[in-house]
Amino acid sequence: MPALAYPPFPDDVPTHPLLVIDYELIKARDAGEIERLWEAGTKLGFWYLKNHGADEFVDRMFTLGAEVMALPTEEKMKFEQGDDGMSFGYKAAGANAVDATGERDTVEFLNVAKDDALAWPKQARRAYPETVNAQMHTTVVPFVKKSLEVNNTLLEVFNDRLGLPAGTLLRFHSAEEYSGSEARLIKNPPISNLNKQAIGSHTDFGTLSFLHNRLGGLQVFVPGAESWQYVKPIPNHAICNIGDALAIFSGGILRSNLHRVVPPPGQQSGLERWSLVFFTRPGNSSVLTALTQDSPTIAESVRSAPPGKYETGSTAFEWFSRRIKNQRINNRKGPETWMASRGTEQIEV
Ligand SMILES: O=C(O)CCC(=O)C(=O)O
Ligand SMILES: [Fe+2]
């Protein structure tokens, strides 16, 4: 993916600025930067992250993505996710709904489980195309490890700022326990209808997402706004966001915000769009509930919310499987299937 050759993101479309957080300062526990991260996490739940040190791994992942998506469809389909709520593997374009009417998505993607990357060369969760296997050691594993380092650092900072005892959030995300954590390579083909949703409106299912894209198309629905706004890609800046699990653990203090993907705007329209995400998600057995016992700050937040709002009664595994499964067009019965795929946006976190 040559990073240089893209036409500019337009300056005449509604765009929402995000705070830029400096990962080096966060690592150094700079108090001012931690406050800005806190502001980003509590107000919108999205921010840019610079100086994250992942660019080299990201570039290699994009090259791998192009090779994988160029494989014949029948080869990719051997590694399909299936309809049972498993995320790992390949998802063909059109396999997911983007809304309650059952309109289909336009992206294809491949998800590689963090458990398979960390167990490599053993298989933990599932098999992948040979093209991926051949670059697991050189490309996928380094990207996964780097992403885990970044997300775990951010988690530690949120942990302390939430008033949780040291290590509380990390214990829900141990490398050893199987989880839904995964790397996702996404391709959206050139599409002329700029309103056609590539990925429908959603909140992320897990804890933290570490996203890399080159072209516009990502949009956020800012609280209080009347319409969608683009997030402009900035070279070498990742886009990070909070998912449902962290919104729930924090009793709604941290925000899991709605977002979606449409084709790139302006001069970028008509181009193929690639993106790459690492999703950190809690260990499968983690119960998704506000950590009121561990933090007076979280307890206070929950006291001012409707009773039971953050008691999902669901493990991370159940939450995640339910959402994946009910997005699948093959499982669709009607609008109720889409509603069953919803996360915290439905409980208005
Ligand atoms: O491609 C993007 O910019 C965002 C992807 C996304 O939101 C997701 O996969 O959950
Ligand atoms: Fe997302």
Q: What is the mean pLDDT of residues 56-66?
A: 98
Ligand 1: residue whose CA is nearest its atom 3: 218
Starting from the CA of residue 213, give the closest ligand: 1
Decide whether any atom of ligand 1 lies within 6 Å of the 184 Cβ.
yes
pLDDT of residue 133: 98
Residue given tokens 């995000």 in the structure block: 18
Q: pLDDT (tens digit, 9 = 90+) per residue, 78-111?
A: 999 999 999 999 999 999 999 999 999 999 999 9
What are the tokens at 6? 């893209």
Please give the pLDDT value at position 305.
Answer: 94
pLDDT grade for 4, boundaries at 50, 70 and 90: low
Residue 12's CB is within 10 A of a number of other CB atoms, namely 7
pLDDT of 346: 62
Whole-angstrom CA distances from 114 to 132, 156, 204, 277, 286 are: 14, 19, 17, 12, 17
Alpha-helical (H) ranges within the chain are: 23-27, 31-43, 55-69, 73-77, 114-119, 130-134, 141-161, 168-171, 244-249, 296-303, 316-327, 335-340
Half-sphere exposure in the Cβ direction for 51 (13 Å, CA): 9
**Residue of 289, 341, 291, 336 whose CA lies nearest to 315:** 289
pLDDT computed for residue 345 by the predictor: 80
Mean pLDDT, to the nearest integer, of 19-39? 98
Neighbours of 296 (CB within 10 A): 9
Residue 323 Cβ < 6 Å to ligand 1: no
Measured in degrees and rounded to the nearest 5, phi and psi for residue 244 equal: -55, -45
The predicted-structure confidence for 325-347, as pLDDT tens digits, reads as follows 999 999 999 999 999 999 988 64
How many angstroms is it from 65 CA to the middle of ligand 2? 18
Q: Which amino acid is at 119?
A: A
Phi, psi of 250 (to 5 degrees): -90, 10
Are residues 21 and 83 in contact, defined by beta-carbon separation less than 8 angstroms?
Answer: no
- Report the DSSP beta bridge partners of residue 240: 47, 210
Average pLDDT of the segment spanning 31-60: 98
Confidence band for 2, pLDDT divided at 50, 70 and 90: very low
Ligand 1 centre from 333 Cα, in Å? 25
Residue 37 structure tokens: 């991260």
Confidence of residue 5 (pLDDT cuts 50, 70, 90): confident
Q: Which helix (H) or strand (E) holds 47?
A: strand 46-50
Distance 165 CA to ligand 1 centre (A): 32
The pLDDT value recorded for residue 348 is: 42
Contact 206, 270 (CB under 8 A): no
- pLDDT, tens digit, 9 for 90 and up, residues 179-217: 999 999 999 999 989 889 999 999 999 999 999 999 999
* Mean pLDDT to the nearest integer, 112-126: 98
Handedness of CA 266, 232, 236, 173 (dihedral sign): negative
Whether 199 lines ligand 1, by a CB cut-off of 6 Å, is yes
216-274: pLDDT as tens digits: 999 999 999 999 999 999 999 999 999 999 999 999 999 999 999 999 999 999 999 99
CB of 211 within 6 A of ligand 1: the answer is yes
Q: Is the pLDDT of residue 3 over 60?
A: no
Please provide the average confidence, as pLDDT, over all residues in the chain: 96
In terms of phi and psi (left: phi > 0; alpha: psi -120 to 50; beta: otherwise), the region of 306 is: beta
* pLDDT, position 100: 95
Closest CA to 86 of 182, 5, 166: 182
Alpha-helix residue ranges (DSSP H) falling in 187-308: 244-249, 296-303
With pLDDT > 90 as the criterion, what percentage of the chain qualifies? Answer: 95
From the CA of 107, give the closest atom in ligand 1: 1
Q: Which atom of ligand 1 is nearest to the CA of 279?
A: 10
Asked whether 204 lines ligand 1 (CB < 6 A), one says: yes
User: What is the per-residue pLDDT across 125-138, written as a single tens digit (0 to 9) for each?
Assistant: 999 999 999 999 99
Q: How far is CA 346 from CA 17, 98, 169, 203, 340, in A?
A: 25, 16, 24, 10, 10
Q: Can you give the length of the chain in residues?
A: 349
Structure tokens at 83: 């309809």
pLDDT at residue 1 is higher than 50: no
pTM above 0.95, yes or no: yes
pLDDT > 70: what percent of the chain? 98
- Stated as kind and residue range, the H or E segment containing 287 is strand 287-289
pLDDT of 117 > 80? The answer is yes
Query: Can you tell me which residue has the tokens 């806190």?
Result: 38
Which two tokens mark 30? 């700079």
Cα gap 44→306, rounded to integer Å = 21
Query: What pLDDT is stored for residue 19 in this prediction?
Result: 98
Does 349 have pLDDT greater than 90? no
- Nearest residue by C-alpha to atom 7 in ligand 1: 260
Say if ligand 1 is within 6 A of residue 275 CB.
yes
ipTM: 0.98
Q: How far is the CA of 286 from the centre of ligand 2 (A)?
A: 21
Ligand showing the shortest atom-to-Cα distance for residue 232? 1
pLDDT tops 80 at residue 168? yes
> Confidence band (pLDDT; 50, 70, 90) for 49?
very high
